[in-house]
Amino acid sequence: MFKIMTRLLQKRKVTAKEIAEKYDVSIRSVYRYVEELIVCGVPIDISRGRYGGLSIADTFRLPAGYFTREEFSAAINALNAMASQINDENIISAREKLESKQKNEVRELSVCGNIIVDGGTWGGGAKFTEKMRVCEQAVNQSKSLLIDYISRGGEHSKRIIDPYVLIFKQSVWYVYAFCHTKQSFRTFKIGRIKSATFTGAEFVKKAFTRDDIDLNLNYSDRQLTEVTLEIDKSSLADAEEWLGIDNIEPLGDKLVANISLPDDDSLVNKILSYGGNVRVAEPSALRERVKSAAKRIYEAD
């Protein structure tokens, strides 16, 4: 199983027949091992037909090892020299494993000149950065991606997309792309992309402007609510990062924000996360929902 995974990390796409011949096992065994890898969380896609095969997501990497970049190069060069003199399968296998982990792709993503961006969660930045790296490369080089996407409702779907541009809004990264499944442009939250794989196809970008992109990001006008929030000074810094400095103004002895926000359960949870330091003045319906949610928390065992 490890040899199959190593081969996939090297080639990114192979056929079951190729693996069966290389490791002297049956094709049925190859598929059984691959299914075990998938159960273990390795994002391998199985496609049938003339141009089918086994492919591993370009966002998948083994955990970083204990080598520096120079140590990696020195070890691989030494093994190459030995392999040219000694026909030993163990030496060749060791070289292949190191080459599959060679640090030739920088993890830190520089989106704009010298600006480094890490939009991942605490403790999970490396996985997010790999997804960002793949999406950025797809945008820059007009390459199509096969993505495994999980919607907010938990629905899994595999789609081929043509990424046009990356969007950063409200501390969240999105990719604006043409979706082959829906045959229209969609905005996908990068944090909800489970895996992404280059299809090998390239696309020609259609002309577009900033005005063509709906920056409401999948929220219709009906889902956006005009909200008035009262903010305690103790939570001003956090509220400014959430709502934006320009949207918060002093009103008498209060700090008030008048803003349009997506009206869903996440809004209630966000307000509650401030522990009473952000209060809903309007609309009354939202205020009642926040009160009901707080009451449920208070009454929970």
Q: Which residues of 62-73 are buried (b: 16+ CB within 10 A; e: fewer)?
A: eeeeebeeeebe
**For residue 11, what pLDDT band results from cuts at 50, 70 and 90?**
confident
User: Residue 257 pLDDT > 80, yes or no?
Assistant: yes
**For residue 126, what pLDDT band results from cuts at 50, 70 and 90?**
low
User: Residue 123 pLDDT > 70, yes or no?
Assistant: no
Q: Once rounded to an integer, what is the mean pLDDT over residues 91-116?
A: 59
The pLDDT, as a whole number, for residue 130 is 82
User: Residue 106 pLDDT > 50, yes or no?
Assistant: no
Q: Fill in the DSSP letter of residue 155.
A: -
| Residue-wise DSSP of 22-85 | HHT--HHHHHHHHHHHHHTT--EEEE-STT-EEEE-TT--PPP-S--HHHHHHHHHHHHHHHHH
User: Residue 104 pLDDT > 50, yes or no?
Assistant: no
Phi, psi of 267 (to 5 degrees): -65, -45
What is the percent of the chain with per-residue pLDDT over 90, rounded to a whole number?
Answer: 23
The pLDDT, as a whole number, for residue 107 is 45
Strand-pairing partners, residue 172, are 169
Among the listed residues 236, 249, 226, the one whose alpha carbon sits nearest the alpha carbon of residue 277:
236
User: Residue 299 pLDDT > 60, yes or no?
Assistant: yes
What is the percent of the chain with per-residue pLDDT over 70, rounded to a whole number?
Answer: 83
**For residue 91, what pLDDT band results from cuts at 50, 70 and 90?**
confident
Q: What is the pLDDT of residues 139-180, one digit of tens each?
A: 999 999 999 998 877 788 999 999 999 888 766 788 999 999
**For residue 183, what pLDDT band results from cuts at 50, 70 and 90?**
very high
**For residue 122, what pLDDT band results from cuts at 50, 70 and 90?**
low
The more confidently predicted of residues 94 and 297 is: 297
Alpha-carbon 139 to chain mean position: 14
User: Residue 103 pLDDT > 90, yes or no?
Assistant: no
The more confidently predicted of residues 122 and 202 is: 202
**For residue 43, what pLDDT band results from cuts at 50, 70 and 90?**
confident
Mean pLDDT, the chain, rounded, equals: 81
User: Residue 62 pLDDT > 50, yes or no?
Assistant: yes
Could you tell me the two tokens for 28?
A: 């049925």
User: Residue 17 pLDDT > 60, yes or no?
Assistant: yes
Instruction: Average the pLDDT over each of 95-109, 164-178, 260-274 and give the range with the smallest value.
Output: 95-109
